[in-house]
């Protein structure tokens, strides 16, 4: 991965010596033996020996692939976004799938769940329910419905088709798993949901799809190793965090993660949760948004070019694309495309990237460019760890705790009161 800040640095006052001192202090803090947070367990995952765990994940995945046509991952937030981002990044569009990975519990749409059940009627399926507590409303409802469908379909053997990824010691899902005999994987206490992609939360669905989970972790290790030196001249992770912080304090309050490849569309959804939930507190934090170019250039493009000047873009670009199409010459050039004859669509897309960056910068929209090598497991691991580490640095630069989410609990309390849940009777009377 490579970061280019050429089209952003002129928009900020960058006192590198001052920022380097702050970065050094935060780097030492998060890497010290006594961590500043109980939720930094993700930090050393790439260099932690996990041979036994990875072997068990691969065996479970193989069993699922043999007895199921569909794996339904039940979870919300970090319990599903990372695996969906990875699978959509690595899958070839329109390719025949040996096994499908579908999702439930990430919304409260009865229509969605009803149609999922209809879709599963003539298919063998398994369920991977992911929740530390087992009581989060959306996945708990979905799992109850899917569990009952499994019981109807497979009887007392249904438990063989349920894999629970949950707390290692407590919680209703942990208790249910012990009672029913579900295979269990542990979400470490020290890893929050949005930082859990490189745990069994993400690794099991990736393995079920047949992707190389060792290569994913190797990619993460690559970024981990390169980021041990906090020098901003050598550490693109920290430089990205510093630049987004400086753009924020300069008045650019919105960051858009922009891609030019459909395989990156859901990666942006994971990225938005990671940064939005980590930084948006205490009246601080960038509002994070995303755009899929060149599609959104025909909708949001006008606003980005000439709207309020309160945003900047981070462009995520894939350098090597193996599948491509060459534009052919036609005798009747009614569409005026013969000037592109012999060129690939990848080439045209690259010029769209370059031209758009220049136009938006001319329109006073700073741009950062992050280039990744290709669409591969190694690259995906790099991207995940790059942004996880950058998020921790960025939040600490804002002086906020990256690992809590107190605001998320407020809507839940109101919802429980309105639903008549015991213990919440007086919430709305305050």
Residue in 149, 183, 255, 277 annotated catalytic: 277
CA-based nearest residue to 121, from 69, 165, 160: 69
Predicted TM-score of the model (pTM): 0.94
Domain boundaries, the chain: 2-31+216-406, 45-211
**CATH fold for domain 45-211:** Rossmann fold (3.40.50)
Which spans in 110-254 are helix H? Answer: 110-120, 137-154, 172-180, 200-208, 213-226, 236-249
For a pLDDT cut of 90, what percent of the chain falls above it? 90
Q: Classify 174 as helix, strand or coil.
A: helix
Rounded-to-integer distance, Cα 28 and Cα 230, Å: 9
CA-based nearest residue to 382, from 319, 310, 306: 319
Tokens standing for residue 157: 């053997």
Residue in 35, 281, 412, 421 annotated catalytic: 412
Q: Which residues of the chain have pLDDT under 70?
A: 33-36, 407-409, 429-430
CA distances, 363 to each of 293, 301, 310 (Å): 17, 11, 11
Phi, then psi, of 221 in degrees rounded to 5:
-60, -35
Q: Which CATH number fits domain 2-31+216-406: 3.90.920.10, 3.40.50.10490, 3.40.50.300, 3.90.1150.10?
A: 3.40.50.10490
Tokens 């041979």 belong to which residue? 51
Q: List all residues 6 or more positions away from 394 whose beta carbon is below 8 Å from its beta carbon.
A: 241, 244, 245, 275, 279
Q: Give me the pLDDT at residue 38, please.
A: 80
Q: Do the domains 45-211 and 2-31+216-406 match in fold?
A: yes
Q: Give me the pLDDT at residue 109, please.
A: 95
- The 10s digit of each residue's pLDDT in 369-380 is 999 999 999 999
371 is catalytic: no
412 is catalytic: yes
Q: List all residues 6 or more positions away from 44 whose beta carbon is below 8 Å from its beta carbon.
A: 224
Rounded-to-integer distance, Cα 59 and Cα 62, Å: 5
- The 10s digit of each residue's pLDDT in 274-319 is 999 999 999 999 999 999 999 999 999 999 999 999 999 999 999 9
What residues pair up with 164 in beta bridges, in sequence order?
129, 184
Preceding amide of 294 cis, omega within 30: yes
Rounded-to-integer distance, Cα 34 and Cα 27, Å: 13
Q: Give me the pLDDT at residue 423, please.
A: 73
């Amino acid at each position: 991965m490579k970061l280019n800040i050429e089209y952003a640095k002129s928009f900020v006052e960058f006192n590198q010596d001052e920022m380097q001192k702050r970065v050094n202090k935060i780097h030492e803090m998060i890497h010290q033996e006594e961590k500043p947070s109980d939720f930094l367990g993700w930090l050393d995952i790439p260099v932690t020996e996990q041979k036994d765990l990875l072997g068990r994940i691969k065996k479970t995945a193989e069993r699922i692939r043999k007895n199921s046509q569909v794996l339904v991952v039940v979870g919300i937030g970090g319990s599903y976004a990372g695996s969906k981002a990875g699978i959509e990044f690595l899958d070839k569009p329109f390719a025949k799938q040996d096994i499908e990975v579908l999702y439930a519990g990430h919304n409260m749409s009865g229509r969605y769940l009803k149609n999922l059940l209809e879709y599963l009627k003539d298919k063998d399926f398994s369920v991977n329910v992911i929740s530390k507590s087992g009581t989060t409303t959306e996945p708990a409802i979905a799992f109850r419905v899917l569990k009952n469908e499994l019981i109807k379909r497979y009887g007392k053997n249904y438990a063989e088709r349920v894999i629970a990824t949950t707390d290692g010691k407590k919680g209703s899902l942990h208790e249910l798993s012990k009672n029913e005999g579900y295979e269990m994987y542990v979400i470490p206490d020290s890893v929050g949901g949005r930082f859990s992609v490189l745990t069994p939360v993400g690794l099991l669905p990736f393995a079920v799809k047949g992707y190389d989970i060792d290569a994913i972790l190797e990619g993460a290790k690559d970024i981990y190793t390169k980021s041990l030196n906090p020098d901003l001249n050598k550490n693109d992770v920290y430089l990205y965090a510093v630049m987004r912080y400086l753009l924020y304090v300069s008045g650019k309050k919105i960051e858009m993660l922009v891609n030019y490849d459909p395989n990156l569309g859901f990666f942006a959804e994971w990225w938005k949760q990671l940064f939005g939930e980590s930084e948006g507190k205490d009246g601080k934090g960038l509002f994070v948004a995303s755009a899929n170019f060149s599609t959104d250039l025909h909708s949001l493009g006008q606003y980005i070019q000439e709207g309020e000047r309160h945003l900047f873009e981070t462009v995520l670009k894939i350098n090597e694309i193996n599948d491509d199409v060459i534009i052919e010459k036609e005798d009747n050039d009614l569409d005026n495309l013969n000037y592109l004859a012999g060129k690939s669509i990848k080439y045209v897309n690259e010029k769209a990237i370059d031209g758009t960056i220049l136009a938006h910068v001319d329109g006073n929209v700073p741009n950062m460019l992050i280039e990744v090598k290709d669409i591969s497991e190694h690259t995906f691991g790099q991207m995940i760890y790059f942004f996880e580490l950058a998020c921790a640095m960025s939040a600490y630069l804002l002086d906020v705790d990256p690992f809590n989410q107190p605001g998320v609990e407020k809507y839940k309390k109101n919802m429980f009161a309105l639903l008549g849940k015991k213990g919440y009777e007086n919430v709305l009377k305050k």
